[in-house]
Amino acid sequence: MIVTPGQLDRFAEFYHQLAHMLQAGLPLPKAIKTLRDAAGSASFRKPLTRALYYLDQGESLSTALAATGRWLPGFDSALLAAGEQSGRIDECCLILSDYYRERSQLAREMLQDLGWPLLTLFVAFVVFPPGALVRVVTEGDLRGFLLPKLTQLAVVAGVLLGLFYLGQGRRAEWWRSFLELAFHRVPVVGKARQAVALSRTTLALSALLNAGVNVVAAWELATDASGSPRLRRAIARARRDIEGGATPGEAIAATRAFPETFVSMYCTGEVSGQLDQQLEYLLKTYRHQAHRLLKTLAMWLPRIIYLIILVLLAFAIVNFWVGYYGNLLSNF
């Protein structure tokens, strides 16, 4: 349910090794078998075994990957299918390896920055209210101390697990649309999510068009890979305009779902016949923007949480002493 930096590292290493094996001339089934045998995690061995079975039957890579169920995200599947059609699977694997390595590094930095605030929060959770801790020492009321704490932990854990579950990319479209709209209004977070979605769209679109995929199908697959319900709905509307005679550039401009810069450069590439160069520029632009915003988020989110914790601690301490001295004064 929760994607950890270790899982992201395993995907990065998997794609890195697969790319180099293919570049060395190993057949795809042989490369997959080697990686399957070397996999230390059942989460990789089982889907790779299933994919290998279909590859041995002469099926394509996209068919074999589809048989693994939900093991691979749509982004990965779209890129690998495009690489298969264009004969550039190794290049797509290297792109995916870099992508997962960057995600893993950002996740580790954020977790490291969150360590001290979370430790402070745990200590505050154990200590407050101080009266319960005092009763453990003076009266031995360990049950009265632990039971409320465990109940509170269970509630918090349930809420967090529920949020992680609902926040996954495989949940209902209406919920994902709601989350996208909600996060869009959050400073930094909204722009970071948009930059990530646009960089993934551009990356997949470039690979699919180079593979010779029809432009309408390429756009649909690329927005599927983006993880953005808003972009998928926009392309569904744009498809009707394209079928009515509009160019893809005119159709996506009419949706107003894409930034002006994106639309302008896409239309320029479409008219000039240099769409590959424009998509490459857009990919670098949005990848850099996403990385910068995510780094900013990883730096400031722990600080904001730490500040909130300090404010709550200060409030709890002041509230305790006010109550303590209020009881003393009431006895006089």
User: For 100-153, how does the pLDDT look when each residue is reduced to its tens digit (9 = 90+)?
Assistant: 887 788 778 767 766 776 777 777 777 766 667 667 777 777 777 778 878 888
CATH code where residue 215 lies: 1.20.81.30
Task: Categorize the per-residue pLDDT at 1 as very low, low, confident or very high, splitting at 50, 70 and 90.
Answer: very low
Euclidean distance between the first and the last CA atom of the chain, given in angstroms as a whole number: 58
Does residue 121 form part of some domain? no
CA angle 130, 134, 135 (to 5 degrees): 120
The pLDDT of residue 328: 62
Who has greater pLDDT, 90 or 142? 90
Q: What percent of the chain shows pLDDT beyond 70? A: 84
d(Cα 194, Cα 226) in Å, to the nearest integer? 9
Q: Per residue in 3-44, pLDDT tens?
A: 678 888 888 999 999 999 999 988 888 998 898 888 777 788
Does residue 122 form part of some domain? no
Burial per residue of 250-279, b for 16 or more beta-carbon CB atoms within 10 angstroms, e otherwise? ebbbebebbeeebbebbbebbeeeebeebb
The pLDDT of residue 17: 92
Say what the pTM is: 0.67
Does residue 158 form part of some domain? yes
Does residue 116 form part of some domain? no
d(Cα 107, Cα 6) in Å, to the nearest integer? 10
Does residue 250 form part of some domain? yes
Name the most confidently modeled range: 37-41, 68-72, 216-220, 294-298.
Answer: 216-220
Residues 218 and 193 placed together within one structural domain of the fold? yes
Last residue of a domain, one of 166, 189, 214: 166
d(Cα 40, Cα 286) in Å, to the nearest integer? 35
Q: Is 206 exposed, middle or buried (0-12, 13-18, 19+ CB in 10 A)?
A: buried
The pLDDT of residue 20: 92
d(Cα 293, Cα 188) in Å, to the nearest integer? 6
Does residue 147 form part of some domain? yes
3-class DSSP state of 9:
helix
Question: What's the structural domain count of the chain?
Answer: 3
d(Cα 90, Cα 16) in Å, to the nearest integer? 9
Residues 177 and 285 placed together within one structural domain of the fold? yes
Residues 291 and 210 placed together within one structural domain of the fold? yes
Residues 180 and 316 placed together within one structural domain of the fold? yes
Does residue 111 form part of some domain? no
Residues 79 and 149 placed together within one structural domain of the fold? no
Residues spanned by the domain of 226:
172-321
Does residue 208 form part of some domain? yes
Number of Cβ within 10 Å of residue 142's Cβ equals 10
d(Cα 157, Cα 167) in Å, to the nearest integer? 15
Residues 84 and 195 placed together within one structural domain of the fold? no
